[in-house]
C-alpha cells in the first residue's frame, strides 16, 4: 500500500478548523480506494508558537518538512503578531525555501456555488490563475531610510529575474497547450516601467514558441473590471505575485467566496514538497465559532490528490462538493446556510461514498 506522508501546518485562527475537514475527506477517499493511505504529521507552528518560542517555526523547520510528500496548510497570521513577521517567517519562507514558484488557483464556478453576478452561467467562469509565487513584488527587498525623520523614504523593490519570469510564463503556456485553452497575461507595463515592461517582453518572446496557443494581454486594472463584467474572457491566466494575490480574491468573490477558493503551491521539479492551502486567511472575525467554510481547504486537498496522480479522486471530491452545494441544506453562513464546519465536512465525505463516475463535474 502506498503511504503519502503529509506535513500538516494547521496554523492560526480558522486554519485548524478547516484543515481537519480536509483530512476527513481525503481519509475517506483513501478508505474507499484501498490502494493508498495518508500519514499526517502535525506541526504546531504559527502565532501561538511564536508567542511561546519567539519564532514561527524552529530554525530547522524547513529541514523537518523536507522529506514529506506534501504540506497541507490552513492559515497563518493572527492579531498579536505583526503580519509581516508571521507571514515572512512561515508561509513565505516555505513557498520560497521549497521553490514553489507556481501557484495554481482555480477560479471555477462549481455547480451550486453562489455567484453574485447577474446572468452569468456556470461555464462562463472557468479559469485557472497561475500566479508567480517566488519573487516579483514579494522579493522582500527594500530599505527604510531616515526612519522617523521628515525626509523619511521607504523603498520596496520588485525583483523580476529572467529565470523567474520565463519559467512561470513557460509553465503557463504548457498548461494552456495541454488544456487547449487561451492564455492571458495580466501585467501593468504602462506604469511599472521596468518590471512589467520586462514581463510583457518575456511573454511575447515565449509566445513565439507556442504558435498554437491563443494569447491575450491585459493591464491589471482593466482585467479586474473584466473579471466582474465579462469573466468568460479568461481561461488560463498568468500574472505576477502581487497581482495574482489580488485578482484571486476577486476571482473568489465571483465564484462562491473566499470560503471556497483553493490554491496549490507547486515545485514542478518535485525537488521539494509542494504545499496545498486555501487562499483565505485565518479569519479572526469568525475564528473559534465553528462556522468557517471548509470547502476551500477540501478543494485544496483535492488538488493534492491531483498532484499525486489521483485526478479521478480529485474530481470526485469536487463532484461531492457540488452535490452538497446544490442540495443546499448543509452550508456554512458565508454561503447562506446554518451548518457548522464539521457538518459540511461530514456531508462532503458522505457524498464521496455515493458518487459514481457519471456524476463528475464538467469543469475541474
Ligand atoms: P481572511 O481571508 O482571513 O478573511 C477575509 C474575510 O473572509 C473575513 O470576513 C473572513 O471571515 C472571511 N473568510 C475567510 N475565510 C473564510 C472561510 N473559510 N469561511 C467563511 N468566511 C471566511 O483575510 P484577512 O482578514 O485580511 O486576514 C486575516 C489574517 O490572515 C491576516 O493575518 C492575514 O495576513 C492572514 N492571511 C493568511 C493567509 C494564508 O495563510 N495563506 C492568506 C490570507 C491572509
Ligand atoms: C495568500 C495570502 C498571502 C499572499 C499573504 C498572507 C502573505 O494573501 O496566500 O493569498 O499574499 O500570498
Ligand atoms: Mn491573498
Domain's final residue, options 213, 236, 255: 255
- For residues 24 and 66, state if they share a domain: yes
- The DSSP element (H or E) to which 188 belongs, if any, is none
Asked if residue 200 belongs to a domain, the reply is: yes
Q: Is the dihedral of CA 233, 239, 242, 248 positive or negative?
A: positive
In a domain, 306, yes or no: yes
Phi, psi for residue 262 in degrees, rounded to 5? -120, 160
pLDDT in tens, 213-261: 999 999 999 999 999 999 999 999 999 999 999 999 999 999 999 999 9
211 CA distance to ligand 3 middle (Å): 33
Ligand 2 pocket residues where CB is under 6 Å: 77, 87, 91-92, 245, 279, 281
pLDDT at position 35 is: 97
pLDDT for position 364: 42
pLDDT digits (tens, 9 = 90+) for 278-309: 999 999 999 999 999 999 999 999 999 999 99
Residues 156 and 70 in one domain: no
**Do the domain assignments include residue 334?**
yes
- CATH number where 344 lies: 3.40.718.10
- The domain in which residue 353 lies consists of 1-104+261-364
Does 268 share its domain with 145? no
pLDDT tens readout for residues 11-27: 999 999 999 999 999 99
Residue showing cell 495554481: 104
Mutation probe of ligand 1 site: the residue of 258, 260, 265, 292 with most atoms within 8 A of C-beta: 258
Cα of 356 to ligand 2 centre, how many Å? 36
Ligand 2 pocket test: pick from 15, 86, 91 the residue with the most ligand atoms within 8 Å of its Cβ: 91
Pick from 197, 227, 255: which residue ends a domain? 255
Residues 4 and 96 in one domain: yes
Rounded distance from Cα 231 to ligand 3 centre (Å) = 20
Tell me: do 155 and 99 sit in the same domain.
no
**Residue 355: predicted pLDDT:** 84
Q: Name residues of the chain where pLDDT drops below 50.
A: 363-364
Q: Does the residue 110 lie in any domain?
A: no
Q: Are residues 273 and 195 in the same domain?
A: no
Distance (angstroms) between ligand 2 centre and the Cα of 256 equals 19
Question: Does some domain include residue 109?
Answer: no
Ligand 1 atom closest to the CA of 286, numbered from 1: 11
164, containing H or E segment: helix 162-179
Ligand 1 contacts CB of residue 293 (under 6 A):
yes
30 CA → ligand 2 middle, Å:
30
Query: Domain check: are 90 and 151 in the same one?
Result: no
Q: Which residues contact 118 (CB under 8 A, 6 or more apart)?
A: none
- Structural domain includes residue 45: yes
pTM for the whole structure: 0.97
CA of 173 to the centre of ligand 1 (A): 31
Q: Hey, which of 57, 282, 348 would you mutate to test ligand 1's pocket, going by the most ligand atoms within 8 Å of its Cβ?
A: 282
Identify whether residues 10 and 97 lie together within a single domain: yes
Atom 8 of ligand 2, residue of closest alpha carbon: 245
Residues 360 and 234 in one domain: no
How many domains does the structure of the chain reveal?
2
- Confidence at residue 363, expressed as pLDDT on a 0 to 100 scale: 47
* Residue 122 sits in the same domain as residue 237: yes
Domain assignment of residue 96, yes or no: yes
Q: Is there a single domain that holds both residue 98 and residue 137?
A: no
Is residue 236 included in any domain, yes or no? Answer: yes
User: Buried b / exposed e across 75-86, counting CB within 10 Å, b at 16+?
Assistant: bbbbeebeeeeb
- Residues 15 and 65 grouped into a single domain: yes
Ligand 2 atom at shortest distance from the alpha carbon of 76: 6
List, in sequence order, every beta strand (DSSP E) within 146-244.
153-159, 183-187, 215-219, 236-239
Ligand nearest to the CA of 92: 2
Nearest CA to ligand 1 atom 16: 259
Task: Point out the domain boundary residue: 207, 229, 255.
Answer: 255
pLDDT for res 360: 57
Amino acid at each position: 500500500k502506498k503511504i503519502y506522508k503529509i506535513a500538516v501546518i494547521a496554523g492560526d485562527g480558522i486554519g485548524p478548523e478547516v484543515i481537519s475537514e480536509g483530512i476527513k475527506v481525503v481519509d475517506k477517499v483513501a478508505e474507499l480506494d484501498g490502494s493508498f493511505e495518508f500519514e499526517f504529521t502535525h506541526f504546531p507552528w504559527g502565532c501561538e508558537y511564536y508567542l511561546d518560542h519567539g519564532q514561527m517555526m524552529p530554525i530547522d523547520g524547513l529541514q523537518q518538512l523536507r522529506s514529506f510528500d506534501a504540506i497541507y496548510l490552513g492559515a497563518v497570521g493572527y492579531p498579536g503578531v505583526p503580519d509581516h513577521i508571521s507571514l515572512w517567517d512561515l508561509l513565505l519562507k516555505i513557498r520560497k525555501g521549497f521553490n514553489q514558484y507556481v501557484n495554481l488557483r482555480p477560479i471555477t464556478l462549481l455547480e451550486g456555488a453562489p455567484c453574485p453576478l447577474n446572468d452569468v452561467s456556470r461555464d462562463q467562469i472557468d479559469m485557472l490563475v497561475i500566479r508567480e509565487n517566488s519573487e516579483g513584488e514579494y522579493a522582500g527587498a527594500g530599505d527604510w531610510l531616515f526612519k522617523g525623520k521628515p525626509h523619511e523614504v521607504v523603498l520596496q523593490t520588485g525583483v523580476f529575474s529572467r529565470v523567474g519570469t520565463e519559467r512561470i510564463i513557460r509553465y503557463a503556456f504548457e498548461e494552456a497547450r495541454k488544456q487547449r485553452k487561451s492564455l492571458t497575461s495580466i501585467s501593468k507595463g504602462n506604469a511599472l516601467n521596468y518590471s512589467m515592461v520586462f514581463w510583457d517582453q518575456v511573454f511575447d518572446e515565449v509566445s513565439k514558441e507556442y504558435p498554437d496557443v491563443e494569447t491575450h494581454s491585459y493591464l491589471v486594472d482593466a482585467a479586474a473590471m473584466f473579471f466582474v463584467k465579462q469573466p468568460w474572457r479568461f481561461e488560463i491566466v498568468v500574472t505576477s505575485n502581487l497581482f495574482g494575490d489580488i485578482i484571486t480574491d476577486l476571482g473568489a468573490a465571483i465564484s462562491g467566496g473566499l470560503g471556497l477558493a483553493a490554491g496549490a503551491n507547486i515545485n514542478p521539479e518535485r525537488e521539494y514538497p509542494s504545499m496545498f492551502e486555501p487562499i483565505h486567511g485565518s479569519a479572526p472575525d469568525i475564528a473559534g465559532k465553528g462556522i468557517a467554510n471548509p470547502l476551500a481547504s477540501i478543494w485544496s486537498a483535492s488538488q493534492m490528490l491531483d498532484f499525486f496522480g489521483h485526478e479521478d479522486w480529485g474530481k470526485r471530491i469536487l463532484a461531492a462538493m457540488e452535490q452538497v452545494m446544490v442540495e443546499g441544506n448543509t452550508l456554512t453562513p458565508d454561503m447562506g446556510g446554518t451548518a457548522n464546519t464539521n457538518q459540511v465536512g461530514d456531508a462532503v465525505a458522505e457524498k464521496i461514498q455515493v458518487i459514481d463516475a457519471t456524476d463528475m463535474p464538467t469543469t475541474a
